[in-house]
Amino acid sequence: MAKGDHLYIKMNGYTHHRIDCGDETVIEYGGGVKGMLYGKNKVQKVPLKEFEDGKKAQVRNYEGKANSADLIVRKAESRLNENDYSLSTNNCEHLATWCKTNTHKSDQVEDKVAMVGGCGTVHITLGAMFVGAALYVDYKNDRKRKQLERPEEASSRTPKADYREGRGDD
């Protein structure tokens, strides 16, 4: 592994992605599932060993179609402390791919969406769960943004009250 590498580890049902800084640290969209559910995932720099957590990191090969190592790390560093995670549109793979290629994409997301497109009940159920989780996280992030914009209004209201009174988030 080297500076600027797009690293990933296989988890249960997905892969987690990061950028190698070349100094035994990596930059990632971290926070795990709990962070995702509570809108606390942010771009952070962590020790490589913490990223691997007993698993072996692998390097994604871009066959010469990548930015220089210095630019990749600078791009990753430019996003440190960002807290705009979205499972479907701005996840760890989106970040690592963008740093490497200037293209904001996630093969995992595209594969899951394609899987839902025509592969039977099991895949539709899994896809619905994936989309449901993404929508929930996006909802939580939107609520958080609205609270920052209108703290006096948001603190006195609950989602149930908004729904009953026809003021749900659209």
Q: Is residue 169 part of a domain?
A: no
Could you read off the pLDDT of 11-64 as tens digits, one per residue?
Answer: 877 888 999 999 999 999 876 666 666 667 889 999 888 766 678 889 999 987
Residue 151 lies in a domain: yes
Kindly tell me if the per-residue pLDDT of 163 is higher than 50.
Answer: no
Sheet holding 42-47, edge to edge: 42-47, 25-30, 15-20, 6-10, 58-59
Residue 64 and residue 127 share a domain: no
In tens, the pLDDT along 87-107 reads 888 889 999 999 999 999 998
- Give the ranges where the chain is alpha helix by DSSP (H): 32-37, 48-52, 69-78, 92-101, 107-116, 121-149, 151-155, 159-164
88 lies in the same domain as 157:
no
Could you tell me the two tokens for 111? 């594969």
Residue 115 DSSP code: H
Domain-located, residue 170: no
* Number of domains, the chain: 2
Mark whether 152 and 89 lie in a shared domain: no
Which residue is listed with tokens 């190592």? Answer: 69
What residue numbers bound the domain in which 159 lies?
113-164
Q: Looking at the structure, tell me whether residues 12 and 86 fall in a common domain.
A: yes
Residue 23 sits in a domain of what CATH number? Answer: 3.90.1720.10
Residue position matching structure tokens 């990061």: 18
Residues 92 and 140 in one domain: no
CB 57 within 8 A of CB 7: yes
pTM of the model: 0.65
Residues 66 and 97 in one domain: yes
As given in the structure block, the two tokens for residue 27 are: 């930059």
